[in-house]
Amino acid sequence: MSAHATTSLEDSFISVHRKDPSGDSDPVHNIHGSHEDHQGTASAMESDAGAARTMDLTAPRRLELSARRPDMLRTLKTRLDEARFPDQIEAAGWSYGTESNTMKYLTREWLHHYDWEKELATLNQEYEHWTCEVNGLQIHYVRHDPWAELATEVDPETGEEEVLEGPYANPEATVNENGEIIMPLLLIHGWPGSWYEFGKAMQLLKKRGRYQIIVPSLPGFGWSQAPTKKRFGVREMAKTLHELMQKLGYKHYVAQGGDWGAIISRTIATLYPEHCLAIHINMLPCLPPRPWRRPFQFLKAIAGFALPKLVYRNNPREQASIEGLKVYAAEEGAYFFIQATKPQTLGYALEDSPVGLLSWLTEKYLSWADLDPLQPDSWPFTKTELLTQVMIYHSTQSITSSIRIYYEAVKTKDIDWMMKNSVPAKVPVGVGVWRKELFMVPKAWADDYMNIISWHEFPVGGHFAAFERPVEFEEEINGFFTREEVLDAFTAKRRGLKI
């Protein structure tokens, strides 16, 4: 088979690689179309298509990240070079939206200094990328599991042992060389994030030597296939990621997430408490305590929402949480409503205009992170890292499918369902409270809906905790998942005991 052959099974953009025993990757083919050279003979194309039909596309397979369109970089540079910028009210700053000078600065950086091919090569070199079919979709995920062994089989004709393309033979290792319990850890991103926001924290977690790490791209984000039917909301997302963990052999696991990742983590824990044994979240949308369960806390919550400075005068963090929710509703929430009502209309603009996409995403990163948007040198992530997040959406043409999560979550009432259903008490919950988080409520609210055994507040950091403060984030989640309560639950479950 030609290394550059393509098939047209579906409309996607991932290059599948077979891993040989030496560790080298041999390009096999590109399923669903790719950036590879489309030249070749008709007979070669027919042969490749036939081979693709015989390949088990449901099995886990190594892949190399690539872009969807062969002319993407050339077209991008032209569009950036010819960009037109709107006027701006004098001394408006960021009060009207993305500030003009910042946009022009980032556009120049993207055009003249950012090297996507270099960054893409780094992503392929530093992380192990895989794909497999789950819940009817091809799901991309990054995997780190040094204890798993590649599955092998013996060729009946030659008698030689052959390494299979995807499945692992021993996915549930129990302890490392130091006798420490090993746990499968599912990291779940949100919007406008991607798997990449966990990259720096993931490298730190690897050094711990006790986590089997899975970081998926949510369906419709980046290199994961987008749903084509309605009503693929939060519960379908949760089902997909849970089935991915089961398919990879991780019967019991823990999960962490912020933004939509926090919502999906809570949903997984609620739906699959026999498998998801603990969760950690760094965003906490929550209803007030139920009056028939905690009448005093309910009354305090209602009064506190109306008069936060009075009711929470002795707790600045809780006062800031309530005031932050009000500011979000009044000044930040418009994007939510347009993405939850007319995602397709917005998608045309964001897909067609790279500067429009940059403006839409940059405003979220620079408004929701804990930083001064007018001081790029002080940002907790580099310009290159920010542009890589934007390029993941642009190069995979996934911005429209990504924002549909808002529409589907509202139409299916999945958020209402999650807010009204308690996480089973046997699933311990950890909460990291970063100073500038968008959605955070007083702990007393959340105590009515989940068993919070760890609550840590941080003086610096915003909505993108893993991306902004990777060292603190990694220490926080490692500290939670290695608590005695979590480790005991893993030990009990692996021994078949009821908890």
pLDDT digits (tens, 9 = 90+) for 134-151: 999 999 999 999 887 655
Residues 102 and 108 sit within 8 Å (Cβ to Cβ): no
Residue 304 lies in a domain: no
48 is catalytic: no
Which residues lie below 8 Å from residue 407, measured CB to CB, with a gap of 6+? 339, 340, 341, 343
Residue 325 lies in a domain: no
In degrees and rounded to multiples of 5, residue 61 shows phi and psi of: -140, 145
Same domain, 76 and 65: no
The one-character DSSP state at 424 is: P
Count of domains for the chain = 2
Same domain, 143 and 254: yes
Cα within 13 Å of Cα(381), Cβ side:
29
Same domain, 169 and 277: yes
Residue 293 lies in a domain: no
Q: Of 141, 211, 312, 406, which residue is the catalytic one?
A: 406
Same domain, 437 and 395: no
Flag whether pLDDT at 69 surpasses 60: yes
Q: What is the mean pLDDT of residues 12-30?
A: 36
Q: Helices 399-411 and 234-247: crossing angle, nearest 10°? A: 110
Q: Of 48, 145, 259, 370, which residue is the catalytic one?
A: 259
Flag whether pLDDT at 45 surpasses 70: no
**In CATH, what number is assigned to the domain containing residue 459?**
3.40.50.1820
SS3 label, residue 379: coil
Q: What are the tens digits of pLDDT across the range 245-272?
A: 999 999 999 999 999 999 999 999 999 9
Give the domain range for residue 248: 14-69+129-287+424-494
Residue 157 lies in a domain: yes
Same domain, 147 and 249: yes
Q: What are the tens digits of pLDDT across the range 357-372?
A: 999 999 999 999 999 9
In degrees and rounded to multiples of 5, residue 280 shows phi and psi of: -125, 135
Domain's final residue, options 358, 384, 409: 409
Residue 227 lies in a domain: yes
> Which amino acid type is present at position 441?
V
What confidence score (pLDDT) does residue 172 get? 57
Domain's final residue, options 409, 436, 452: 409
What confidence score (pLDDT) does residue 58 get? 82
Verify cis geometry, omega within 30 degrees of 0, for the bond prior to 219: no
Which residues lie below 8 Å from residue 28, measured CB to CB, with a gap of 6+? 1, 16, 17, 18
pTM, to two decimals: 0.87
What stretch of H or E contains 494? helix 484-494
Q: What is the mean pLDDT of residues 100-116?
A: 97
Same domain, 133 and 106: no
259 is catalytic: yes
In degrees and rounded to multiples of 5, residue 273 shows phi and psi of: -70, -15
What confidence score (pLDDT) does residue 207 get? 96
Flag whether pLDDT at 181 surpasses 60: yes
Find tokens 């007979």 and name the residue: 43
> Which amino acid type is present at position 408?
E
Flag whether pLDDT at 418 surpasses 50: yes
Same domain, 42 and 179: yes
Domain's final residue, options 361, 378, 409: 409
Residue 5 lies in a domain: no
Burial class, 429, CB count within 10 angstroms (exposed 0-12 / middle 13-18 / buried 19+):
buried
Flag whether pLDDT at 39 surpasses 50: no
First to last CA, the chain: 52
What confidence score (pLDDT) does residue 67 get? 79
Residue 402 lies in a domain: yes
Same domain, 99 and 137: no
Q: What is the mean pLDDT of residues 318-322?
A: 90
> Which amino acid type is present at position 115?
D
Residues 318 and 442 sit within 8 Å (Cβ to Cβ): yes
